Structure 1
Amino acid sequence: MSESFDLVILGSGPGGYVAAIRAAQLGLSVAIVERERLGGICLNWGCIPTKALLRTSEIYHYMTHANAYGLSATGVSFDLAKVTERSRKVAGQLNAGVKSLMKKNKVIVVEGSGTLTAATQVTVTTGDQTRVLDGKNVIVATGARARDLPGLAADGKRIWTYRHAMVPPEMPTKLLVIGSGAIGVEFASFYNDMGAEVTVVEMLDRILPVEDEEISAFMAKTLAKQGMRIITGAKVSDVTPGDAGVQATITTADGKATTGEFSHVVVAIGIVPNTENIGLEALGVETNRGHIQVNGFGQTNVPGLHAIGDVTGPPWLAHKASHEGIVCVENIAGLHPHAFETWNIPGCTYSRPQVASVGLTEAKAKDAGHSVKVGKFPFIGNGKAIALGEAEGFVKTVFDAGTGELLGAHMVGAEVTELIQGYVIARGLETTEAELMETVFAHPTLSEMMHESVLSAYGRALHF
């Protein structure tokens, strides 16, 4: 016998659980299915616990450089088990918070593995028990997982995915990070600050390849200055794990191959959508390289079946999934929301220094046919940055020369992941350079650099 709901959601990550809350707010009866832990990968094994680790490494860095602030700290050390324990406690606290939110909003949580047995029906298996959930609509929010190296699966001992790297059984001494997107750079930053010798290998010609070229170049130089070895335009092959370490061959663009020994390897070469074995094929759901194809309202080609989040394709970001979920649910409820678009989604990398951006890079703006005005302002010109001892970095803004439209903003330096939202709001409000230049920014703040970068684009920078 089946149970009936207005909406059944398969997956409880930041897309699924936010969609469930919004649906409940709109008066819909909702069931959400989760095979592991409420909150999904982001909350339990991604966004949140990694930030807890990075906070630890940031504080450790400050402690080992206390002299720069006129302080003395001797005998500084760390307990890796306690570092990991703190990160897991943070994740556990937020998992409990999601449970509370589900209860508060009267969302029925069904634990187990869900399969689509019809376009609007999910059968959940828990051990030898099954439960059939019928919904007027179904949302697939099953997320994604780490991609393995071809022919070599991560073993959790010497070869790690992000999940293994968050609960290390031992501290790496010589770490190889394969891939230099946000995940790869964040783990490289964490382990480097904690004392490991880190090598980062990127197949493309620059690290953080989705960022503006000047940001990538600055980060490569800065990370190398911190002691990392950065190798771009290269590939890793012949990865052979052993009891004492890992042997890997790195081949550069000129064909030169070098075999090295590492204690551990972190594989950060992308993700794979979780679309296998959930019933999509039998329903004829359209996919592209495993990602479910949807329109701006999360609708698939099958009536009543929707999809949101990482399972639908890039950008693979928690905040993108949450907003997709809200748009999808509001459309289901008949509120006629605007179709979801990706043009104004910020991206953040929580390394040291941080990186944040929104909109078009300078190169992409030019490729799109824009005549541009570009402004830049360095951290060294900002009083608050100097006072903080964080004078490395810059803010870059890209405007359309004719209309003054803010096409993109790119930042590298301390706390830029917090600052970027100002530009996101400005773009959402269709603010031009005129409004931004006339806005009063508090002094002394890091945000003054955002103002100065805009002024710089029009030859009016005041402090540099």
Structure 2
Amino acid sequence: MAEDSLPSETEVLVIGAGPGGYVAAIRAAQSGCDVTLVERDAYGGTCLNVGCIPSKALITATDVAHDATDAEEMGISAEVDVDFGRMTDWKDSVVRQLTGGVEKLCSANGITLVDGTASFTGEDEVAVTRDGTEQGTIRFEHAIVATGSRPVELPGFSFDGTHVLSSTHALGLDSLPDELLVIGAGYIGMELSTVFAKLGVDVTVVEMLDQVLPGYERDVASVVRRRTEKLGIEFRFGERADTWEPTSGGVRVSTLDADDQRAEYDADFVVVAVGREPVTDSLDLQAAAIETDDRGFVRTDPKMRSSARHIFAVGDVAGEPLLAHKASKEGEVAADVIAGEPTTLSTRAIPAAVFTDPEIATVGLTESEAAAADLNTIVGRMPMRASGRALTLGETDGFVRVVADGDSGTILGAQLVCPDASELVAEFALAVETGATLSEVAATVHAHPTLTEAVMEAAANAQGEAIHTLDR
């Protein structure tokens, strides 16, 4: 439980109890530091409360419902009754279990928990307010800023929770709309669009660029686009959301294309999913001489130190990539540095996953990134249609691709778009981090029939030794 009164001083002050903050606090406490953790909203941050966990819970539930009605080829026909209220209750129960666990872990490690908003009053002190009332100040020797990020609002599309929704609002809906307009075909927009489409909602996605998942390689993104179009999602590429107005049935959104041609779309709600921005407005960073970049993210070095050397920043507030697992690793690094450990953050093998259908996962360098770095590369590829396990799952869309150094065979990166890509990428992440070679991965016996065999086959394919797909 949070303390009713504030400690007057602490050795390590952590601001924010998300995946970066609570991990940093626990690691610092394990090292013997006196730690105080200040959180103004909910333990677990965006990830556990309104991001990774609730979205993946809904993705899992909707996949169960959709798969049951999409298995005629296997000889299975079913009609599914989806109780969306019970589905969201289950999703919320998962969130409560995890967030409650975070608070218990912090307490069990002897961390002083404080409810409130912390803002710097100087380079070694914060003031804490609660419900607009100042509760006092805390002096610190070291501080770790872990205040995370929030959805970006588009000009003219301020979130009101009634017509214009953020991803947080969309995950909190208590009933299903008939029609949904999603602005942005990035990973958040695509995950949400897929969830609602599988539940029978008519979904239209407006995207300024010419493909889904901008930033991912086109052949990877196109696999997801084809699958989502089969779900009935309509894409409007090359259009920019311009204005909106309420209607008797919901909302009408007007868009403009490159030629200033206007189009209008009606829906029950519009969901704006165009990115995230750092949460720093309540911190008064200037009072602690903490510098930010031109996007507002706190500048850090490989030890996660800010421009104020005794103040660290971790997680989304410290910049791209905005990933929970990256935040946790940064939290560990910051705590270890404070404890005197000679450590730095390694960014060579930070995987990323998108929980679309099929999933996407990447780690390390793409072929084009390696070429830009003047590296000689070889590439191996295993299509899922040649995977025995993928065939038995009825999930044959996509592929596994590995990029390696052409001289040494050292694995540089991988791109996966396939079932369970988020799990399979771990083997490639380990390979990149440890400097493993194609030969080492290809020679490792993988269980059959499994999806992981695609990792082995892709490595073998790069060497011209694949058995179950034609060598490149």
Instruction: Measure the CA separation in 1 of the matches of 2:23 and 2:139.
Output: 20
Q: Does 1:77 align with 2:81?
A: yes
Question: What's the CA shift string for 1:54-80, capped at 9, x where partnerless?
Answer: 011100111212433333433x12122
Give the TM-score, by structure 2 length: 0.94
| Paired position in structure 1 for 2:328 | 322
Gaps of 5+ in 2: 1-5
| Paired position in structure 1 for 2:300 | 294
| Paired position in structure 2 for 1:378 | 383
Q: Does 1:460 align with 2:465?
A: yes
Instruction: Measure the CA separation in 1 of the matches of 2:160 and 2:379.
Output: 46
| Paired position in structure 2 for 1:367 | 372
Q: How far 1:131 moved relative to its partner?
A: 2.9
User: Which structure 2 residues correspond to residues 332-411 of structure 1 after superposition, within 5 A?
Assistant: 332-337=338-343, 339-411=344-416
Which secondary structure state, in structure 1, belongs to the residue aligned with residue 205 of structure 2? strand
Which secondary structure state, in structure 2, belongs to the residue aligned with residue 434 of structure 1? helix
Instruction: Measure the CA separation in 2 of the matches of 1:186 and 1:439.
Output: 34
Matching residue's letter, 1:95: T
The number of equivalent residue pairs is 462
Instruction: Measure the CA separation in 2 of the matches of 1:423 and 1:316.
Output: 20
Q: Which stretch shifts more, 3-12 or 166-175?
A: 166-175
Q: Which stretch shifts more, 119-128 or 35-44?
A: 119-128
The answer to whether the 8 A contact 2:10-2:36 is kept is: yes
Instruction: Measure the CA separation in 1 of the matches of 2:219 and 2:287.
Output: 47
Q: How far 1:178 moved relative to its partner?
A: 1.1
Could you list the runs of 4 or more consecutive aligned residues of structure 1 that deviate by over 4 angstroms after TM superposition? Answer: none
Which secondary structure state, in structure 1, belongs to the residue aligned with residue 459 of structure 2? helix
- Choose from 106, 112, 115 the match for 1:102: 106
The answer to whether the 8 A contact 1:58-1:352 is kept is: no
- Choose from 305, 308, 315 the match for 1:309: 315
Q: Does 1:178 align with 2:190?
A: no
- Choose from 116, 119, 133 the match for 1:112: 116
Matching residue's letter, 2:55: T
Note closer, same or farther for the CA distance 1:399–1:119 as it changes in structure 2 (3 Å cut).
same
Q: Does 1:126 align with 2:130?
A: yes
The answer to whether the 8 A contact 1:247-1:260 is kept is: yes
Instruction: Measure the CA separation in 2 of the matches of 1:270 and 1:168.
Output: 20
Q: Which stretch shifts more, 1-10 or 181-190?
A: 1-10
User: Which structure 2 residues correspond to residues 137-286 of structure 1 after superposition, within 5 A?
Assistant: 137-253=142-258, 255-286=260-291
Q: How far 1:2 moved relative to its partner?
A: 5.6
Instruction: Measure the CA separation in 2 of the matches of 1:84 and 1:437.
Output: 43
Matching residue's letter, 2:278: P
Q: Which stretch shifts more, 39-48 or 274-283?
A: 274-283
Instruction: Measure the CA separation in 2 of the matches of 1:319 and 1:103.
Output: 22
Q: How far 1:123 moved relative to its partner?
A: 1.6
The answer to whether the 8 A contact 1:119-1:303 is kept is: no
Which secondary structure state, in structure 2, belongs to the residue aligned with residue 177 of structure 1? strand
Which secondary structure state, in structure 2, belongs to the residue aligned with residue 90 of structure 1? helix
Which secondary structure state, in structure 2, belongs to the residue aligned with residue 311 of structure 1? helix
The answer to whether the 8 A contact 1:358-1:409 is kept is: yes
The answer to whether the 8 A contact 1:121-1:138 is kept is: no
| Paired position in structure 1 for 2:49 | 44
Matching residue's letter, 1:373: I
Note closer, same or farther for the CA distance 1:141–1:303 as it changes in structure 2 (3 Å cut).
same
Instruction: Measure the CA separation in 2 of the matches of 1:223 and 1:369.
Output: 36
Which secondary structure state, in structure 2, belongs to the residue aligned with residue 449 of structure 1? helix
Q: Which stretch shifts more, 439-448 or 232-241?
A: 232-241
Which secondary structure state, in structure 1, belongs to the residue aligned with residue 363 of structure 2? strand
| Paired position in structure 2 for 1:63 | 68
Instruction: Measure the CA separation in 2 of the matches of 1:370 and 1:189.
Output: 37
Which secondary structure state, in structure 2, belongs to the residue aligned with residue 36 of structure 1? coil
Matching residue's letter, 2:119: T
Instruction: Measure the CA separation in 1 of the matches of 2:259 and 2:221.
Output: 21
Which secondary structure state, in structure 1, belongs to the residue aligned with residue 322 of structure 2? coil
Instruction: Measure the CA separation in 2 of the matches of 1:199 and 1:349.
Output: 19
Q: Does 1:417 align with 2:422?
A: yes
The answer to whether the 8 A contact 1:49-1:166 is kept is: yes
Identity of aligned residues (%): 38
The answer to whether the 8 A contact 2:360-2:416 is kept is: yes
Gaps of 5+ in 1: none
Question: What's the CA shift string for 1:339-361, capped at 9, x where partnerless?
Answer: 21323111111111111111122
Instruction: Measure the CA separation in 2 of the matches of 1:341 and 1:206.
Output: 31
